């Protein structure tokens, strides 16, 4: 089972705003009347609070979803140490299994109209010795939204990541320019350079926000109302 509006949110690097954009997408889908669910299959870095292990990104996504689901489904691999997930899993003697992630995803799909799945780190972060986050996006067969951290080197990182997405046979349905760091010199010129080279549309430019939260970020995303209709229609076509 796959909900035709669902997407996989990845980034050009870690700490560049995937959770912010994922939360904003959840709010947009929710305001359009969809039952919007969030999933972050793997999260590395947790704190013991209120009698359980908690991850800030997982909790933020859950707060902006309209489908209330247990963390055991939305984040089947909540790892304690804030390092690369394959290392964190090894430290806890855990093997991240694709089959477990897919089973959780199927259960979430059954209870929602759209699932926003957030990756971990960049597009090709190892999850175990056999597969990485690119394989995860491929196994879930989801179109990709690419979050670009606007800073020095972002043009190369973005184009290389876009090529990697295409090489996996996945569709990049859009990219977001996120200005989450200090103001970038020649910001407009860098965005224009990317826009002329990316085949996927620019979904929005999120400025440096005094309060970086999904509610404020969604105002800067320009996802056309027809996008959902077009994707839903194309996903229903034979073949």
pLDDT of residue 239: 26
The position carrying tokens 């994707």 is: 231
Long-range contacts: 89-93, Cβ < 8 Å, 24+? 89/127, 89/128
- CA–CA gap between residue 154 and residue 163 (Å, rounded): 14
**pLDDT at 116 > cutoff 80:** yes
pLDDT of residue 4: 77
Catalytic residue among 2, 40, 102, 229: 40
Q: What is the mean pLDDT of residues 108-131?
A: 95
Q: What is the mean pLDDT of residues 116-132?
A: 95
pLDDT of residue 180: 84
Pick from 59, 77, 55, 56: which is nearest to 69 by CA?
A: 59
pLDDT of residue 52: 87
Lowest mean pLDDT among 36-50, 53-67, 84-98, 176-190: 176-190
pLDDT of residue 182: 73
- Beta-bridged to residue 172, according to DSSP, are 144
pLDDT of residue 50: 85
**pLDDT at 237 > cutoff 80:** no
Confidence of residue 105 (pLDDT cuts 50, 70, 90): very high
pLDDT of residue 236: 38
Q: Please say if 18 is a catalytic residue.
A: no
pLDDT of residue 26: 97
**pLDDT at 1 > cutoff 80:** no
Q: What is the mean pLDDT of residues 32-39?
A: 95
- Sketch out the chain's domains with CATH numbers: 7-236 (3.40.50.300)
**pLDDT at 54 > cutoff 60:** yes
């Amino acid at each position: 089972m796959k909900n035709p509006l669902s997407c996989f949110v990845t980034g050009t690097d870690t700490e560049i705003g995937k959770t912010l954009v994922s939360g904003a997408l959840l709010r947009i889908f929710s305001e359009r009347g969809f039952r919007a669910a969030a999933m972050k299959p793997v999260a590395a870095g947790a704190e013991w609070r209120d009698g359980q292990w908690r991850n800030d990104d997982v909790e933020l996504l859950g707060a902006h979803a309209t489908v209330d689901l247990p963390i055991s489904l939305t984040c089947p691999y909540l790892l304690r140490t804030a390092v690369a997930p394959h290392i964190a899993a090894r430290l806890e003697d855990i093997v991240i299994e694709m089959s477990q992630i897919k089973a959780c995803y199927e259960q979430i799909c059954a209870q929602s109209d759209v699932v926003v799945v957030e990756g971990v780190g960049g597009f090709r972060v190892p999850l175990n010795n056999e597969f990485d986050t690119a394989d995860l996006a491929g196994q879930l067969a989801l179109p990709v939204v690419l979050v670009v951290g606007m800073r020095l080197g972002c043009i190369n990182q973005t184009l290389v990541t876009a090529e990697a997405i295409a090489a996996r046979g996945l569709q990049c349905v859009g990219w977001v320019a996120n200005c989450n760091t200090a103001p970038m010199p020649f910001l407009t010129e860098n965005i224009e350079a990317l826009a002329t080279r990316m085949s996927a549309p620019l979904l929005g430019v999120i400025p440096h926000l005094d309060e970086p939260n999904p509610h404020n970020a969604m105002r800067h995303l320009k996802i056309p109302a027809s996008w959902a209709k077009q994707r839903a229609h194309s996903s229903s076509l034979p073949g």
